[in-house]
């Protein structure tokens, strides 16, 4: 009985040992299979990590390129801002020049209007007198220099004019004095035209007859000598550009209305070298005038401006 029990125990032990060996082998196989799966999974994860790293590097490179593009765009924007600022400055300067040109054009138009409106207005540049002996109409040698000076002033400006007014002293009849006065005025006109070459249309003469003595002046040789005279006024047209600018500085007494004989042949624009150097140019300064207005002025004839050849 005891032997049978021992044998049974031994068989059970052997069976258990065999089962244990079989279990260990199975475990080893399972462990090897698990390790293999883990290795494969690790390899797959490493591959994914490498791919992810490659994607990350590619993405970083793209980000860097995008940053460079952004920086380039920022530089371009700065350049555009600078150019926009320059364009705004140029636009402001152009606007200022346009405003100045507009103001200059308005000034030229105003002066042109004044020039046309005042083409028949004259002012007295100076007044000279020459004197005569009793009952004579001969020009004295002492007065030749005065006539020479006036002739030079008129020759310097063909738009100027001489206005002559002859007088006699209050003695004698009206008929005698009128004839003597005309003779004296004619003598002066002939001298200016024949001796000095002054154009006849630039000389306008009138015989005024007997001169009245000034208030409070007593009759006498000196008073009579002062009355025997021809007054000569040198006239210049108001329509010159410089005269128009100086009009506000001239007293109203300096203005004289042109007579019909004077306005008939009076051009409006002074030539170069005017009486006593008061009129210097027959053309306005159009350097600041816009091309459009200069073209309009160029289409206007001298007759439109009241200018004669």
What is the average pLDDT across 121-126? 83
Q: Tell whether the model's pLDDT for residue 184 goes beyond 90.
A: yes
Choose the CATH number for 121-299 among 3.30.1330.60, 3.40.50.300, 3.30.450.90, 3.40.50.170: 3.30.1330.60
Q: Is the pLDDT of residue 63 over 50?
A: yes
Residue 99 pLDDT more than 80?
A: yes
pLDDT of 172 above 70? yes
Between 226 and 24, the more confident residue is 226
Residue 133: φ, ψ to 5°? -75, 170
Q: Which residue has the higher pLDDT, 74 or 254?
A: 74
Task: Check residue 263 and give its pLDDT.
Answer: 38
Taking phi over 0 as left and psi of -120 to 50 as alpha, with beta for the rest, 106 belongs to alpha
Section 57-66 average pLDDT: 85
Domain ranges, ordered by start, for the chain = 41-117, 121-299
pLDDT in tens, 25-39: 777 777 888 888 888
Question: Please, which pLDDT band fits residue 293 given cuts at 50, 70 and 90?
Answer: low
**Residue 136: its pLDDT value, please?**
92
Mean pLDDT across the stretch 215-242?
84
Mean pLDDT of 194-221: 88
């Amino acid at each position: 009985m005891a032997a049978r029990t021992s044998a049974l125990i031994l068989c059970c032990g052997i069976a258990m040992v065999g089962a244990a060996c079989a279990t260990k082998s199975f475990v080893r196989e399972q462990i090897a299979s698990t390790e293999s799966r883990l290795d494969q999974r690790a390899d797959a994860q490493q591959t994914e990590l490498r791919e992810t790293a490659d994607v990350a590097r590619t993405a970083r490179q793209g980000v860097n390129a995008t940053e460079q593009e952004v920086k380039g765009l920022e530089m371009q924007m700065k350049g555009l801002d600078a150019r926009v600022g320059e364009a705004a400055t140029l636009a402001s300067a152009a606007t200022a020049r346009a405003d100045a040109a507009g103001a200059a054009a308005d000034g030229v138009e105003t002066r042109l209007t004044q020039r046309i409106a005042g083409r028949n207005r004259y002012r007295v540049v100076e007044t000279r007198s020459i004197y005569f002996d009793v009952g004579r109409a001969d020009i004295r040698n002492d007065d030749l220099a005065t006539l020479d000076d006036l002739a030079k002033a008129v020759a310097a400006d063909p738009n100027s004019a001489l206005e002559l007014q002859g007088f006699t002293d209050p003695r004698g009849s009206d008929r005698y004095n009128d004839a003597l006065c005309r003779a004296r005025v004619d003598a002066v006109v002939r001298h200016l035209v024949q001796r000095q070459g002054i154009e006849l249309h630039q000389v306008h003469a009138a015989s005024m007859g007997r001169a009245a003595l000034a208030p409070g002046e007593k009759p006498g040789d000196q008073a009579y000598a002062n009355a025997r005279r021809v007054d000569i006024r040198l006239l210049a047209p108001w329509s010159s550009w410089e005269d128009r600018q100086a009009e506000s500085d001239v007293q109203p007494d300096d203005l004289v209305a042109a007579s019909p004989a004077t306005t008939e042949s009076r051009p409006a624009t002074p030539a170069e070298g005017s009486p006593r150097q008061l009129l210097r140019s027959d053309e306005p300064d159009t350097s600041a005038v816009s091309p459009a207005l200069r073209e309009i002025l160029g289409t206007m004839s001298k007759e439109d401006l009241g200018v004669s050849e």
